[in-house]
Structure 1
Amino acid sequence: MRRPKPNETAILNLACRWAPYGSVPASEIWVTFGMSPDRFYTILTRILGTLDAHELAPEQRQSLEHLAMRRSNRQTHGCRESSRSSTTNSLDEEWLPDGAELTPTMKFKRRSIVTKFDEVIEKLYS
């Protein structure tokens, strides 16, 4: 695992400061980083997934994961319960334009993806 970059450290610090209150205000995210809350939480989730476990105290890490999960659940609130995945899975391969998974215009080739990753998708929703 790796150490966080300076901007990632700032994202972690802001998230830690606001975690007890349930979320970081959108205005605070915009003023501090010039990004949308969706982008902020996407980056926070990626940082938490790549950090060395020793970088954060276990209760801090758990608090930040809970914060990111609440945000994710809020974004998918309009989805049917059966269509939500309660877990995530990272794939070890890169999807390139005009490959098996993406068109040249970066749209998903859904039939190909479902066929190729059927077992992975089934595990996510079971």
Structure 2
Amino acid sequence: MDRTDRQIAQFVVMWAPYGWPPADRTWVEFGMSSERLHVRCIEIIGAARRTRELAPDERELVSQLVSIMMRRRIKGIFDRVA
């Protein structure tokens, strides 16, 4: 996990209690749209699953990111049904 991936994951985890990072903050921090941030998080998780060389703190961070992304997906499914 490189520094940028770690910063993105930490950013999303930090905003998790409020839902998802606001688009304006995402743009200021990383120069990407909220949709691109979502895709980037999926890419980070995929890359982490392919490597065995994550430090324990990185594994925990990825685990938190997986939980956030799962909640986001489930919320999206229920929002479409409602």
Structure 1, unpaired ranges of 5+: 82-126
Superposed CA deviations along residues 32-68 of structure 1, whole A, max 9, x for unmatched, are 0011111011000111122158512686244322355
Alignment coverage as a number of residue pairs: 73
Structure 2, unpaired ranges of 5+: none
- Amino acid across the alignment from 1:49: G
3-state SS of 1:51 partner: helix
Partner of 1:11: 8
Give the number of the structure whose alpha-carbon radius of gyration is greater: 1
Partner of 2:39: 42
Change (3 A) 1:70 1:24: farther
Does residue 23 in structure 1 map to residue 20 in structure 2? yes
3-state SS of 1:35 partner: coil
Change (3 A) 1:5 1:25: same
Q: Normalising by structure 1, what TM-score? A: 0.47
3-state SS of 2:60 partner: coil
Superposed CA deviations along residues 47-98 of structure 1, whole A, max 9, x for unmatched, are 1122158512686244322355258x37xx4xxx7xxxxxxxxxxxxxxxxx
2:68 to 61, 64, 67: 64
Q: Normalising by structure 2, what TM-score? A: 0.67
When the two chains are superposed, the root-mean-square deviation of aligned CA atoms in Å is: 2.9
Superposed, 1:46-125 pairs within 5 Å as 46-52=43-49, 54=56, 55-56=59-60, 60-69=64-73, 73=76, 77=80
Q: Which has the higher helix share?
A: 2
Question: Conserved in 2, the CA contact under 8 Å of 1:29 and 1:35?
Answer: yes
